Structure 1
Amino acid sequence: MSDQETAVALPGLGIAATVSSAYRAVFGQFWPLCKAAALPFFLSLVIGVLGVFVADTHVVLDIGVQLLSLLPLVIFGIAWGRIVLVGPRSGAIPKPLFGRRTGVYFGYILAHMLLIMLPIMGLVIAAVGTAFLTGGFAPGMELESGATQVLWLLPASFLLYLILLYFSARLALVFPAVTLDQKLGLLGSWRLTRGSGFKLYIAMILIVIPVIVSVMIGGAFLGGLVFTNLDQPGLSLITADGGLDLVTLALIAAPATIFSVVVQYVTFGLIVAAFAKAYAQLSGWGGPRQEVLERFE
């Protein structure tokens, strides 16, 4: 079947179908999800503890730990994506664990992060730089003028994020393609989502909003729990030599840290499942073409 014939024969992307199928995949196959997340979850906790001990020690180490923290998500994304598209028989751990597939997936995640982060960072630097250049934060002067110039930064950054998220969604079908060892590329993902990009974008927003609300509620509760523990008599985060007691801090922050990692994996699981289902709808995976493609695995 040619690409033109496929485009005609296949149904378009459905917003409700994509969102509901993502939630069904995660909560309907929760045990396979847990198995796929077990090793990456453990690695995330180890890297998180490592990050506490190297924080603010050297900028290169900080960046290295941040990049390393993406690796567990790559492993989970590949394993979970294959379970969604192929089934539990694909296994909870990608094979090979650190092969070409892992490297390509990692590169695409990094590219998507830079697509979102760099323009927003540029906007922030431009806003803060303008405030400094115009004297808004000059020593001895009132801060009202500088604060007024930066006040528009939050809504502008959020609006820019929403715009960039559209482009990110259009390019994100590379992830299920890499998971299945199919050659698609960023340009191929853009073409595959032609006519369905806005629907995929809306589906992603509908998936993320409930998670954000849950994080805000849970984060507020756990944040209050951390501050309550800090008020316990005899508890101090300062060592005898005036340094920060990282061990005590890690123990106090453990519930909030575990909660944040769990939410991160559930959220990522929903997003991976949504893109996988969108890829299946737009590429024909799951129909007659799947049998042909699986022979080359």
Structure 2
Amino acid sequence: MRHLSPLSSRSSACTRSSDGSPLRRLEESFLALATAPEPLTLPAHLVCEEPEQAALPVDQFRSRLAHPGTSPVLRKRAWCEVVGRAQRLGEPWDTVAIGLTVPVLHRILARLGRPVHLERAELEQEALVAVTAALHGVEAKGADCGRELFAAADRAVHRLVHAAHRRAAREVAPKEAGPGRFVGATDLADASAKSLEAVGGEGGDAYSALTLAVTAHVINVAEARLIARTRLEGEPMQRLATEHGVNMRELYRHRAAAEQQLAAYLRYQLREG
């Protein structure tokens, strides 16, 4: 599979201006193609019944494609052309094809019941990864290849939300000593001081619980810092990914694995205490 450049860091300026949003970074790359000295264009007849000009910059093309008045026949024809170009030619048509999905991806994400501990950036990243995989797997001349891209994104983000709900349910354990409950690692920043004191001792807090987990070799120092900086201090994941030179999706997965280990340790400590 070809590497999708919108999901990588095209430039440090782009990364800084995006606030960690994969969709925003993609949008910047897409709009750069439309506003270049020689804008990238597509045939206007693909989205207009009676076009007034031969070609449209890709941002105007997207506006026409998303317009309620554009017929399903035109939409299908437009998507077949763009997906075909992306599969045959690669960049910049990969960026164009993925960029055309942005309005629909925003609607898909807006409908989700997102758990508070699941970051919007993680959902955006998952949606884009799914669209990218589908882009190079769908039949370009298929009946409605555009809808196949949207369906792939919708399935991916719903799987992620479902997994997050299941993980949160597993991490919620009733306290044997009283009617309260302890919320696990993905909600560590919101856990009550009383519950954390049961792990960290008098004056214990989220940081001391992390320290104890490191001392017990449940997680390492780097994992504790990752959880503390993103969960407790609210730093955007993109900042850490850029700082360490790693892919943001990889960092999300690494944190999730560390949090599962941490949650199991804290539940055990509370039960034994």
Q: How does the TM-score come out when normalised to structure 2? A: 0.26
Q: Considering fraction of residues, name the structure with more helix.
A: 1
Taking CA–CA contacts closer than 8 Å with sequence separation of 6 or more, which of the two structures ends up with the larger relative contact order?
1
